[in-house]
Structure 1
Amino acid sequence: MCAYILVAEDDGMQAELIRRLLVREGHTATVVFDGRAALDEARNRRPDLVILDVMLPGLDGFGVCRVLRRDADIPVLMLTARSAEDDLLLGLDLGADEYMTKPYSPRELLARIRIVLRRTLRPVEEESPVLRVGGVTVDPVRHEVTCDGTEIGCTPGEFAILNAMAAEPERVFSRRQLLEHTRGHDRASTERAIDMHILNLRKKIEPDPRTPARLLTVFGVGYKLVDGKGPA
């Protein structure tokens, strides 16, 4: 699975290491060293994935991610030397699909890249049924979600969660199970990320996100998607 990947990293040695890893995997890669250049490149030549360092000069990675999410649905893998949970949650709240803290192994970075690309560059030859749960419709082939007839934008991680839950309405999914759908492997330390994805989805599909009627919490267990027509 070959892709065009934009690397935004102000550390020249780190950027070159990532570029070489990507080329070795068969991808095409462009490296930029500041946030403004990252936005310019993303707008001029839409990448399949942006690997985005948080601590970029000029406009930091959070700012770049915010603009990318506003302008386009481009997958984002954020890199940071800061491991604070607040940073992770902020990155996910802005729409990042993956979040890695430095130092990381090249093998882990490549694994995360493969996971994102498998979700976003999946072939569309096989027809998949459109999934409907109440007013929420999920089209796995076109990668589209509508809510009460209005198309809404979802990050790949959000889409993966909604697609899994729409395929089995009323089923209660644990955070760990949803993590497997979004990341492809178990990492218990990042299960809090699922809560952030759920929060973002509620903002998009709930009439009142403060009192969810569709995407419900089952306390002590996880979450489930229902038709929203009445009490679960």
Structure 2
Amino acid sequence: MIRVLLVDDDQELTAMLSEYLEREGFETSAVHTGEEGEIEALSGLYSIVVLDVMLPRLSGIEVLRRIRARSQVPVVLLTARGDNIDRITGLELGADDYVPKPSSPGELVARLRAIMRRVQPGDRHTCEVIRSGPLVLWPGKRQAQWQGRELGVTSTEFSLLEELARSAGQVVSKQDLSLNALGCPLTRYDRRIDVHISSIRQKLGPRPDTKAWIQSVRGLGYLLIAE
């Protein structure tokens, strides 16, 4: 059973979402303040967190910052429609995805399922190891190692790294990255891929020649240097 934590001060909305999610096979709990959201998200009891950005007192962005300081539990942000600043800030802080408000419960369910499919891969990946230069990935365990040390990445960052590592030395289009790593088609003006890749680059650091390990190929996509 996938356990979902809803963090939103709109109690009518959380009641409606809880009812819908439970009909779809999820187990849900809801809290209505940022302080409660932080405590529950860090409890280890939940598979994924749905976090509203516009919370009173302690904002959703600050809650996300505190969660990411101690946990890689998947987080989906609820953001105001058209509010690109909060969306980009959230992705930079390690959110796995966002859903605009208002949106259909069906869209939220689709995003949750896409993330959980990535977090809980099939048995065929259990013993698989992917190596590309100093990068080693264990898809079955969702673990990453960089230059011999554990690499702390979110579930979405891991999925992007996996797609790039499987095609190391070759360009992977943004559309393919979006479909295979995010579970949804790329839409116009969608910056999710770019923001996640930027975060991964910072974690990998520069190459000895000062260039990035993940190269942008204008108009085509991204390439992970294989060496």
> Which TM-score band applies after superposition, normalised by the shorter structure?
over 0.9
Cα distance between partner residues in 2 of 1:181 and 1:190? 19
Checking the alignment, whether the CA contact within 8 Å between 2:81 and 2:102 is kept in structure 1 is no
1:96 matched residue in structure 2:
95
2:175 matched residue in structure 1:
176
Cα distance between partner residues in 2 of 1:208 and 1:70? 26
Q: Shift in Å at residue 66 of structure 1?
A: 0.9
What whole-Å deviation, never above 9, does each CA across 1:114-153 have from its counterpart, x for those lacking one? 1111111234465342111111111111111111001011
2:74 matched residue in structure 1:
75
| Pair 1:209–1:162, CA change in 2 (3 A) | farther
Cα distance between partner residues in 2 of 1:66 and 1:166? 28
TM-score under structure 1 length normalisation: 0.91
| Pair 1:187–1:209, CA change in 2 (3 A) | farther
1:159 matched residue in structure 2:
158
Q: Shift in Å at residue 209 of structure 1?
A: 11
| Pair 1:190–1:139, CA change in 2 (3 A) | farther
Q: Secondary structure at the match of 1:164?
A: helix
Checking the alignment, whether the CA contact within 8 Å between 1:9 and 1:32 is kept in structure 2 is yes
Q: Which moved more, 1:210-219 or 1:126-135?
A: 210-219
- Over the residues paired in the alignment, what is the CA RMSD in angstroms? 1.9
1:222 matched residue in structure 2:
221
Aligned-pair identity in percent equals: 35
Structure 1 residue ranges without an equivalent (≥5): none
1:11 matched residue in structure 2:
10
Q: Secondary structure at the match of 1:100?
A: strand
Q: Shift in Å at residue 69 of structure 1?
A: 1.1
Q: Which moved more, 1:36-45 or 1:144-153?
A: 36-45
TM-score under structure 2 length normalisation: 0.93
Cα distance between partner residues in 1 of 2:179 and 2:20? 25
Q: Secondary structure at the match of 1:142?
A: coil
Matched letter for residue 156 of structure 1: S
What whole-Å deviation, never above 9, does each CA across 1:4-48 have from its counterpart, x for those lacking one? 110001001101011111111222111000100011112234310
Matched letter for residue 205 of structure 1: L
Matched letter for residue 186 of structure 1: P
Structure 2 residue ranges without an equivalent (≥5): none
Tell me the matched-pair count.
Answer: 227
Cα distance between partner residues in 2 of 1:212 and 1:127? 33
Cα distance between partner residues in 2 of 1:130 and 1:186? 27
1:109-128 alignment, distance < 5 Å: 109-124=108-123, 126-128=125-127
1:63 matched residue in structure 2:
62
Q: Which moved more, 1:66-75 or 1:184-193?
A: 184-193
Cα distance between partner residues in 2 of 1:117 and 1:144? 15
| Pair 1:102–1:213, CA change in 2 (3 A) | closer
Q: Secondary structure at the match of 2:137?
A: strand
Checking the alignment, whether the CA contact within 8 Å between 2:53 and 2:86 is kept in structure 1 is no
Checking the alignment, whether the CA contact within 8 Å between 1:206 and 1:212 is kept in structure 2 is no
Matched letter for residue 48 of structure 1: S
1:21-60 alignment, distance < 5 Å: 21-60=20-59
Q: Aligned pair 1:149/2:113, yes or no?
A: no
Matched letter for residue 186 of structure 2: R
Q: Secondary structure at the match of 1:71?
A: coil
Cα distance between partner residues in 1 of 2:208 and 2:35? 34
